[in-house]
Amino acid sequence: MSKNTISTINQMKTAGEKIAVITSYDAGFTEQIEQAGMDVILVGDSLGMVVQGHESTLPVTVADMVYHTANVMRVSSRTMVIADMPFMSHGTPEQALDTAGRLMKEGGAHMVKIEGGAPQLDTVRHLTARAVPVCGHLGLMPQSIHQLGGYRVQGRGEHEGERILKDAVALQQAGAQMLVLECVPSVLAAEITQALDIPVIGIGAGPDTDGQVLVLYDMLGITLRGKPSFVHDFLADKGSISEALSAYVRSVKEGRFPGPEHTFS
């Protein structure tokens, strides 16, 4: 089977085929994820919480991300792999280029993900002009958790929703080729998905995005600090990791996940 690329993922959006995305941080899980038929793997800085035991993603380093991305890439044969750019690794366009270079050259990532809207536009333009594929990230941004005041739904007010929509369009215009929307009202997520030509992947953003992503440990029910309300425990339903992963892929593809209980209004 051929390897997924950004072209493959774009074709899925055009065809209306849902995109299944999961986080992974090591070779063992990645092998099972591949066998389940996942479309995209995100090597998330969520590893700071679920693997390293930190209270947030902020302590994660570039070296951590390179190490875990390389672990995933050693066994990934068909999934497209995106690597997070960790906190304070992209303060300037030049620093961001150095970070992205390491994630792609040493880690092997196909794309990098960067949190933020308007303040990141120059950085996104700088990266994409130099052949670095970029995935944006709007809504709840874990790297900004102290600024946001906690893990809470974003974009509920009219002004805030308009700002997120404006940022999404601007990121696409700056060259971003994919977007993650986290913890926003489903109506706003649907509006953004319709407004953009690039694939939009939701997490706690309702059923109308082009695809869904979950943290691997969350959907297996082994989250350290409690399961987020937008997560379903697929392992509890199936009893084995391989069956849980396959069930997640099927549920996303068939539009059964997320359900109303996993969405915000």
Tell me whether residue 182 is one of the annotated catalytic residues: yes
Tokens of 248: 């997640």
Q: Which amino acid is at 164?
A: I
Tokens of 181: 């929307």
The CA distance from 215 to 206, in Å, is: 16
Core vs surface per residue 57-74: b (16+ CB within 10 A) or e: bbebebebbbbbbbbbbe
Please answer whether residues 219 and 235 qualify as being in contact, where contact means their C-beta atoms are separated by less than 8 angstroms. yes
Burial class (CB in 10 A: 0-12, 13-18, 19+), 31: middle
Residue among 55, 158, 160, 182 flagged as catalytic: 182
Distance of CA 136 to the CA centre of its chain: 9
Please answer whether residues 27 and 70 qualify as being in contact, where contact means their C-beta atoms are separated by less than 8 angstroms. no
Active site residues: 182
